[in-house]
A and B are shown apart, each in its own frame.
Chain A
Amino acid sequence: MSPETSRENCVKFEPFLEDYVNGELSRAEAERISAHLASCSNCRAALEDARLAAQLVSAAFVPVADPGPGFVRMVMARIDVAERWMKEQRSFWRPFEALAWRLAFSAALVLAFLFAYGIRLSHQQQTAGPAVVSTQQQDIFTVPASTGPVNNDQVLLAIADHHYEP
């Protein structure tokens, strides 16, 4: 296989082949492509395929005709309808927008108040100093007053105290 017909070489020619099909190459470029085509059967076949495809598509599809003056009128009518709809939408949401702004403003005020109150509270706590925790020393030999009798002797003593007290 000669270098002219190598695959890499063919890939290099691809963008030019499209122009060659469309007849959009300069004379020098067209001659260069023709020389390559003369020696490369793959590119020749590809070019034939490309021409066949162009022939089929151009014959099958009719260029879309100008839609005429009625088209502009239809477009402008659609624009008119769309604009009116947008205006209606805006007027429908406007009261809600105002309400939303008021709500947002009120929420912001409440938040600001709570923030200020929080700052003030923490400031007061800092100036009062640390809380003093008093621990009363207890006599470990005395029974707490709230504590009831724990044995039979104490029960008898309590009855005796109760009956013989004046």
Chain B
Amino acid sequence: MDNVPKYVAASAAAVAVSARAQAGKPDERELVTQAQKGVASAFEELVRRHQQRVSAVVGGILRRREDIEDVAQQVFLKAYVSINRFDMRSAFSTWLYKIAVNECWDYLRKKKVRPLTYEADLSEEQARHVEQFVSAGGELNNAAERVELREIVERLLSDLHEDDRTMLVLKEAQGFAVEEIGQILGLNVNTVKVRLFRARKRLAANYRRKISHAVDNVSRSGGSERP
């Protein structure tokens, strides 16, 4: 095997991978092994399989769409460069998501911004908007309402610990299981459950506090703005 040039071995392996891909989906471990040998098509297949979930992890931490795409691509680049260090002791996806989380925190550190920094209370209009949403049983009528709600919820999330915020968004918005979140953040499943539950309570407490502040501000100003 040593006498076979590397590119010949790689192209033979690539043919084998694509043949298996045509027959059915190749095993992930096999794809990783091929990628570790330098088969680009195997790595491409791994990117294809995980691009959505990696983007979801990144989207759980970062806010801007361009940032999400940029960092998600960077995650795969890092994975490619260090794939020989992956020892198959965990699932490839878990290893990849850990890179994603670290990459997001690095990105935020380099940009010297907290993921969310909102100090002010909700405006009267925002308070009314979120109250309407809650009383309507969580129904949104259009995309603009969702944008408005996201702004409010990010304010509510800003008081939470970064990990707690990430857990909550991964669980509720991106549909990750508690076990997956535990693997990504390196936490025990029970710890994740308890922290998730406490994060929810804190978010709700923030909601009530900010709503009552908004109501107080309105009553102090004589409620002139309310129709």
Interchain CA distance A18-B204 in the complex, whole Å:
15
A76 at the interface (CB under 8 A from B): yes
Residue of B nearest to A55 (CB): B138
Interchain CA distance A17-B199 in the complex, whole Å:
13
Known contacts A55-B138, A63-B173, A63-B174; A79/B204 CB under 8 A: no
- Give the shortest distance, in Å, between B146 (CB) and chain A (any CB): 7
Chain B residues with CB below 8 A from A58, complex form? 138, 172-173
Q: Please determine whether B134 and A52 come into contact, CB atoms closer than 8 angstroms.
A: yes
Q: Please determine whether B197 and A14 come into contact, CB atoms closer than 8 angstroms.
A: yes
Contact with A82, one of B77, B174, B196 (Cβ below 8 angstroms): B77
Interface string of B43-80 (1 = CB under 8 A from A): 11001100110011011100000001100111011001
B218 at the interface (CB under 8 A from A): no
We find that the number of chain A residues with CB closer than 8 angstroms to chain B is: 35
Contact with A57, one of B43, B51, B203 (Cβ below 8 angstroms): B203
Q: Please determine whether A52 and B204 come into contact, CB atoms closer than 8 angstroms.
A: yes
Chain A residues with CB below 8 A from B77, complex form? 75, 78-79, 82
Binds A, one of B3-11, B113-121, B147-155: B147-155
Known contacts A50-B200, A67-B69, A72-B51; A19/B80 CB under 8 A: no
A159 at the interface (CB under 8 A from B): no
Q: Please determine whether A46 and B48 come into contact, CB atoms closer than 8 angstroms.
A: no
A49 at the interface (CB under 8 A from B): yes
- Give the shortest distance, in Å, between A25 (CB) and chain B (any CB): 11
Q: Which of A50, A52, A53, A55 lies at the interface centre, i.e. has the most chain B CB atoms within 10 A of its CB?
A: A53
Interchain CA distance A128-B72 in the complex, whole Å:
77
A23 at the interface (CB under 8 A from B): no
B97 at the interface (CB under 8 A from A): no
Chain B residues with CB below 8 A from A161, complex form? none
We find that the number of chain B residues with CB closer than 8 angstroms to chain A is: 54
Interchain CA distance A16-B112 in the complex, whole Å:
38
A160 at the interface (CB under 8 A from B): no
Q: Please determine whether B149 and A60 come into contact, CB atoms closer than 8 angstroms.
A: yes
Q: Please determine whether B47 and A72 come into contact, CB atoms closer than 8 angstroms.
A: yes
Interface of A is mostly: helix
Contact with A59, one of B73, B81, B138 (Cβ below 8 angstroms): B138
B185 at the interface (CB under 8 A from A): no
B99 at the interface (CB under 8 A from A): no
Chain A residues with CB below 8 A from B81, complex form? 82
Residue of B nearest to A46 (CB): B201
Q: Please determine whether A75 and B193 come into contact, CB atoms closer than 8 angstroms.
A: no
Known contacts A14-B194, A61-B172, A79-B77; A53/B203 CB under 8 A: yes
Chain A residues with CB below 8 A from B174, complex form? 61, 63-64
Q: Please determine whether A14 and B193 come into contact, CB atoms closer than 8 angstroms.
A: yes
Residue of A nearest to B198 (CB): A14
Contact with B172, one of A57, A65, A71 (Cβ below 8 angstroms): A57
Known contacts A59-B138, A64-B174; A52/B207 CB under 8 A: yes
Residue of B nearest to A66 (CB): B52
- Give the shortest distance, in Å, between B39 (CB) and chain A (any CB): 12
Q: Please determine whether A62 and B52 come into contact, CB atoms closer than 8 angstroms.
A: no
Give me the interface of B with A, judged by CB distance under 8 Å: 40, 43-44, 47-48, 51-52, 55-56, 58-60, 68-69, 72-74, 76-77, 80-81, 130, 133-134, 138, 140, 146, 149-150, 152-154, 156-157, 168-169, 172-175, 178, 190, 193-194, 196-201, 203-205, 207
